Amino acid sequence: MGTCLLSGLSEPSGGISEHLRGQTDQLGFRQFPHGLSGITQPCRGHRAPLAGLHPRYLRFSQSTPAHFVILTTESMTPTPEIPEPHYIGHRQRLKKKFFKCGLQALHDYEAVELLLSYAIPRKDIKSLSKDLLERFGSLKGIMDAELEELTAVRGISAHAAGLVRMVKEMSALYLQEKAREKPQISCTGELLDFCKTALGGLKDENFCVLYLDTQNRIIAFETIQKGIVNQAVVYPRQVIERALSHKSSALILVHNHPSGFVKPSDADIRLTRTITDTAKLLDIMVHDHLIIGENRFFSFREEGIMPL
């Protein structure tokens, strides 16, 4: 690395070159090969950069007189700018593609990658997205995964896992509100979409009830009981008490089978009959009992086994 002392005041006696040669020789520096003429600038009392030169090229020495500046000659051209990482442009292209064509235009790993880009900045996450799909089997598997399962994947923080979970639950709320907009509801496509989104991926059995008004519009959707993998203990009294609390005129019973096998058990059939008979005494109708599996459902009414 070469350096040169530049005078900002008057040139010392004997000429600046001779004076600085002694200074630079003593300090272990060397001068510019083309001399110092025309590139000096006053700097007593402050260390202003030389005109046209970046401050990074200026260095100072306590052993140098106050009116001298040490200029490094390690590089007289600006350092080239480091190009942005390739994934920055890739993320922008993904977003542009999504805004123009929707998720249908993206591969599954691209959809996951786009979602994670809002939680994981400044990092290439394509391989991470593919790892998630491989581990959980599908987009649905990722969305249905528990927070602990997601954060167990290297590279997925609690923040990223929370975003995935929030998208899943907001989707369920959207479908519930969409079902509420129906003038009347019994077993519509909107209702089934909502139930499958809310319950289809759960690891444990949940028993829920849709409470309806006299026009068969949704008043509330509540989880009455959460159980274990193959059963949830439900007390009919709980269902009826909540119906009275909501001033409900009709019910739709809903529960999931985590195994994916949707055929009702004998216990399911007995529970449906007990709740139906009890509700009838209070002029409350039970329209249906839906069992939700992984990618399918079972309707007591459609199968003709709903108690009259």
Q: Are 216 and 186 in contact (CB under 8 A)?
A: yes
Has residue 79 been placed in a domain? Answer: no
Q: Is residue 38 part of a domain?
A: yes
Q: Tokens 């009959």 sit at which residue?
A: 273
Q: Is residue 81 assigned to a domain?
A: no
Reduced to 3 states (helix: H, G, I; strand: E, B; else coil), residue 148 is helix
With CA atoms as reference, report the closest residue to 255 among 241, 275, 278, 234.
Answer: 234
Cα-to-chain-centroid distance, residue 61: 51
Instruction: For residue 247, give its domain range.
Output: 184-299
Question: What was the pLDDT predicted at 86?
Answer: 58
List the CATH number of the domain containing 199. Answer: 3.40.140.10
pLDDT for the residue numbered 296: 86
Give me the pLDDT at residue 183, please.
59
Co-location of 143 and 92 in the same domain: yes
Same domain, yes or no: 97 and 46: no
Whether residue 307 lies inside any domain: the answer is no
Q: Is residue 305 part of a domain?
A: no
CB burial of residue 164 (10 Å; 0-12, 13-18, 19+): buried
Structure confidence by residue, pLDDT tens digits, 180-210: 776 566 556 778 888 888 888 788 889 999 9
pLDDT over 50 at 120, yes or no? yes
Residue 89 binned pLDDT confidence (cut-offs 50, 70, 90): confident
Number of domains observed in the structure of the chain: 3
Same domain, 134 and 225: no
Report the DSSP pairing between strands 250-256 and 285-292.
Answer: parallel
Say if 176 falls within a structural domain.
no
| Domain assignment of residue 177, yes or no | no
Residues 63 and 92 grouped into a single domain: no
118: helix, coil or strand?
A: coil
E strands present in 172-296: 206-212, 218-226, 250-256, 285-292
